[in-house]
Amino acid sequence: MSRLTEFARTRPWLSFLALLAAVTLLCVVASVLIETKRERIARVITQAKEALEKGDVAEMLRSVSPDFQQEGLDKDGLGELMRSCLRAYGHPTIRLWVRQLKLEGESVTCELSVRFAFPEYHGGIREILSRSRWRVSLRKQNDRWLITELTPLSMEGYEPGGLVPLAKRYRVL
């Protein structure tokens, strides 16, 4: 009989603890190395947010699907709308909170609470804060999650009815 077998037979509780420790270690290593679907989706949204904060519309558009179509805007139109917003209001600071995340196979819909702060509004005269709710839809394409919809649900209690009406209200379109 080997020493390991003898040890396991004479001290079963210690063998159980060693097995439990090994399984726990394996789970910890797996959780660090394996990125979940939710984490990948959160990364896409965070990367788009950070790009907007830097004023880098091209970087933000890397998170948008090439076949983006919404309210007459394609991906290039969305990019021009974002550039117009940045020219009019400056680089925002954005805080996001995920209110709801609904996974459906290769598609996901997120409802976000968003807080924008525009410190450069009208030449730095004053900072404006805006609280809003948005729906962001993503679809997995070529093993990447890409944004396919970006819809404002409310802005400070106002229901804009879409991205284009919101842009018109704030005079950026």
Domain definitions of the chain by residue range: 3-33, 37-169
Domain 37-169 has CATH 3.30.2310.20: no
Both tokens of residue 69?
Answer: 């179509």
State how far the Cα of 79 lies from the Cα of 85, in Å rounded to an integer.
Answer: 10
HSE-up (13 A, CA, CB side) for residue 110: 26
**Residues 7-63: pLDDT tens digits?**
667 766 666 666 677 777 776 666 655 668 888 888 999 999 999 999 999 999 999
| Between 95 and 24, residue with greater pLDDT | 95
Model pTM?
Answer: 0.76
Both tokens of residue 147?
Answer: 């944004």
* C-alpha to C-alpha distances, 77 to 67, 84, 107, nearest whole angstrom: 12, 10, 23
Listed residue (85, 65, 71) closest to 139, CA to CA: 65
Instruction: List 33's β-bridge partners, or say none.
Output: none
State how far the Cα of 63 lies from the Cα of 44, in Å rounded to an integer.
Answer: 6
* C-alpha to C-alpha distances, 14 to 21, 73, 95, 135, nearest whole angstrom: 10, 65, 49, 52
